[in-house]
Amino acid sequence: MGLKSSLHNFKEKNKDKKWLPAFSAIHTFLFLPNETTHNGTHIKVADDLKRTMNTVIMAMVPCLIFGMFNAGYQHHLAFGDIQQATGGFFSSAFWTMDNFMVGFWKVIPLVIVSYGVGLAIEILFAMKNSHEVEEGYLVTGMLVPLIVPIDTPLWMLAVAVAFGVVIGKEVFGGTGMNILNPALTIRAFLFFAYPTWMSGDKVWVEGAVERDQMIAAGENLDAISGETILGSLAQNKEVGYEVMDMFYGLIPGSVGETSVLLILLAGLFLIFTKIGSWRIMLSSAIGALVMGLIFNGVVSSGWITESSKFYGLMSTEFWHHLLIGGFAFGTVFMATDPVTASQTNKGKWIYGFLIGFISIMIRVFNPAYPEGVMLAILLMNVFAPTIDHYVVQGNVKRRMKRLKVKTA
User: What confidence tens digit (pLDDT) does each residue in 308-363 have?
Assistant: 888 888 989 999 999 998 999 999 999 999 889 999 999 999 999 999 999 999 99
Q: Show Cβ contacts of residue 258 under 8 Å, excluding neighbours closer than 6 positions.
A: 66, 67, 70, 249, 250, 251, 252
Q: Can you tell me the distance from the alpha carbon of 357 to that of 178, in angstroms, rounded to the nearest whole number?
A: 24
Dihedral sign, Cα of residue 235, residue 371, residue 367, residue 149: negative
**Percent of the chain residues past pLDDT 90, beyond the cut:** 43
> Is the pLDDT score of 288 beyond 80?
yes
> Is the pLDDT score of 3 beyond 60?
no
Contact assessment for residue 340 and residue 384, using Cβ atoms and an 8 Å cutoff: yes
Q: Can you tell me the distance from the alpha carbon of 94 to that of 107, in angstroms, rounded to the nearest whole number?
A: 17
pLDDT for 238 equals 80
Contact assessment for residue 314 and residue 296, using Cβ atoms and an 8 Å cutoff: yes
Q: pLDDT category, 196, cuts 50, 70, 90?
A: confident
Q: List the end-to-end C-alpha distance of the chain, in Å, as a whole number.
A: 66
Contact assessment for residue 97 and residue 64, using Cβ atoms and an 8 Å cutoff: no
Q: Can you tell me the distance from the alpha carbon of 221 to that of 329, in angstroms, rounded to the nearest whole number?
A: 33
Q: DSSP letter string over 93-134?
A: TTS-HHHHHHHHHHHHHHHHHHHHHHHHHHHHHHHHHT-PPP
Q: DSSP letter string over 157-189?
A: HHHHHHHHHHHHTGGGTSTTT-SS-HHHHHHHH
- Find the range with the poorest average confidence among 105-114, 160-169, 223-232, 262-271: 223-232
Query: Within a 10 A sphere around the Cβ of 303, how many other Cβ atoms?
Result: 10
The amino acid at 275:
I
Q: Show Cβ contacts of residue 355 under 8 Å, excluding neighbours closer than 6 positions.
A: 280, 284, 287, 331, 335, 373, 376, 377, 380
> When comparing pLDDT for 90 and 163, which is higher?
163
Comparing CA positions, the residue from 286, 312, 394, 380 lying closest to residue 341 is 380
> Is the pLDDT score of 153 beyond 60?
yes
Contact assessment for residue 353 and residue 287, using Cβ atoms and an 8 Å cutoff: yes
Task: Tally DSSP H helices, then E strands, for the chain.
Answer: 16, 0
pLDDT for 85 equals 64
> When comparing pLDDT for 296 and 138, which is higher?
296
> Is the pLDDT score of 29 beyond 60?
no
Comparing CA positions, the residue from 281, 286, 257, 283 lying closest to residue 267 is 281
Q: pLDDT category, 162, cuts 50, 70, 90?
A: very high
Q: pLDDT category, 143, cuts 50, 70, 90?
A: very high
Q: Can you tell me the distance from the alpha carbon of 229 to that of 117, in angstroms, rounded to the nearest whole number?
A: 32
pLDDT digits (tens, 9 = 90+) for 396-406: 888 888 887 76
> Is the pLDDT score of 144 beyond 60?
yes
Average pLDDT over residues 251-273: 93
pLDDT for 22 equals 56
Q: pLDDT category, 75, cuts 50, 70, 90?
A: confident
Q: Can you tell me the distance from the alpha carbon of 84 to that of 98, in angstroms, rounded to the nearest whole number?
A: 15
The helix or strand, by DSSP H or E, that contains position 387, with its residue range, turns out to be helix 373-407
Q: Can you tell me the distance from the alpha carbon of 404 to that of 396, in angstroms, rounded to the nearest whole number?
A: 12
Average pLDDT over residues 26-30: 56
> Is the pLDDT score of 184 beyond 70?
yes
pLDDT for 286 equals 97
Q: What is the DSSP letter of 86?
A: S
Is pTM beyond 0.95? Reply is: no
pLDDT for 177 equals 78
